A = this chain, B = another copy of it.
Amino acid sequence: MPFIPHTDTDIARMLQRAGISDISQLFDEIPVDLKIDGLEAIGPALSEAEIAQLMQQRARADGEPLCFMGAGAYEHYIPAAVWDIATRGEFYSAYTPYQAEASQGTLQVIYEFQTMIASLNGLDVSNASLYDGATAFAEACLMAVRANRKSKSKKILVSRLLSPVFRSVATTILQGQRIELVELPIRNGQTDIAALKNFVDEDFAAVAIQNPSFLGTLEDVDTLTDWAHEHGALVIGITNPMSLALLKAPGQWGTAGADIACGEGQPMGIPLSSGGPYVGYLVCRKAIMRQMPGRIVGRTVDIEGKPGFTLTLQAREQHIRRSKATSNICTNQGLIATAATIYMSLMGAEGLRQVAHSCNANTHMLVDALCALPGISQPFDTPLFHEGVVQLDRPVAGFLMELSRQGILGGYDLSADYPELGHALLVCATEQRSAADIASYVAAAGAALEVAV
């Protein structure tokens, strides 16, 4: 058995000291009729060599298709240093930094994470991470309801262009507290500003805007932000940190800026890995920080006046406030935040800009080339950031299946979430896709379209 250090001599000595003769006695407080006979159904132990062989087989079965899928998770290049360092035992196998003096490494990293994420979003305060972008949005809604002093509303006005899964997760999480998401319609690939007039008489705790939108389009964030503030609602900005290397930060939206921003930190050095672990972030203005859920690290001094870091503002948290906490979150995504911090440190502002530019250029190249094929067109020409929608002359599913046979992951089929867009497909080419990769896609797409519908 691989992980238990006890020798027979140890066991004998320990049993004696514990005053018993047999390990099974240690379980004698379990009622007899609840005892079981072991876990044979789990099967025999595998050696390290055997499990390695098994997992390598499984991994190979998954293949390595050429990925043109974005839709909320992006294949960016991750420098080797990021995970080499993040998986060092001292980061990897530490617990939450409750004993600050023995956790200055993790605490300082998180303080640096908070700084970078807050600054990218142009706001004052960040927490130490939430589970993922979707739950961060749900927490942002809860926080907005708590924080909005002008409104008692439990409604959030949300653009239909906010990621469908973000809306779905928020619905799950908000239902207990009867908070409701009200949908703002779309038009021409953007949130329909004209439709705002239908909501002037309703009271909202917040208006939530994703920029770039789920479809990759840029929103009129200034108008939406100002409208919300005029109507007593807070503004929640949902962002992609990679885009913030180039785009205006939520803190700069409209006249006053958004109040809360959140998003998925995956693009910052986190592998796709089937959807997680990723890292959600939540940032806000200082005025409402005591409504923030989750852990927060602060800088302070020790008894000798030396700077140091510690978990702070814990009176918001479950382990202190229990049923009155701002959230039930406890374990967060510390290690992923650590990796993201290392990634952002390696890239710097200029590095992120280069990647963002390159992704953007690649996606434009792809969209342009696809739309040059007969049977593919562009449904709208709203400016986009690194994802784009194309429209097919046939159902998307079959087309994608055809590409998949050629080892290409062709993008996200929008027809279930946005039937109003017809046979619409969301494509994305990050900096990892070369011109040759894009050409392969276009060639495969051309071939797929030649098959009769």
Contact = CB atoms under 8 A, between A and B. Distances in A.
Interface of A: 48-49, 52, 77, 79-80, 84, 87-88, 431-432
Contacts of A431: 49
A128 B77 CA distance: 39
Contact of A432 (B49, B79, B80, B432): B49
A9 to B, nearest CB: 15
A52 B79 CA distance: 10
A43 to B, nearest CB: 18
10 contacts: A48-B77, A48-B79, A48-B80, A49-B77, A49-B431, A49-B432, A52-B77, A52-B80, A84-B87, A88-B88
Number of copies: 2
Contacts of A79: 48
Nearest to A90: B88
A432 B49 CA distance: 8
Given A48-B77, A49-B431, 6 more contacts: A48-B79, A48-B80, A52-B77, A52-B80, A84-B87, A88-B88
A267 to B, nearest CB: 15
A15 to B, nearest CB: 23
A344 to B, nearest CB: 16
Contacts of A432: 49
Nearest to A48: B79
A49 B77 CA distance: 6
Nearest to A77: B49
Q: Which of A48, A87, A431, A432 has the most CB of B within 10 A?
A: A48
A25 to B, nearest CB: 29
A80 B88 CA distance: 13
Q: Which 10 A-B pairs have the closest CB atoms?
A: A49-B77, A48-B79, A49-B432, A88-B88, A48-B77, A48-B80, A49-B431, A52-B77, A84-B87, A52-B80
Q: Which of A80, A84, A432 has the most CB of B within 10 A?
A: A84
A49 B48 CA distance: 31
Contacts of A77: 48-49, 52
Nearest to A432: B49
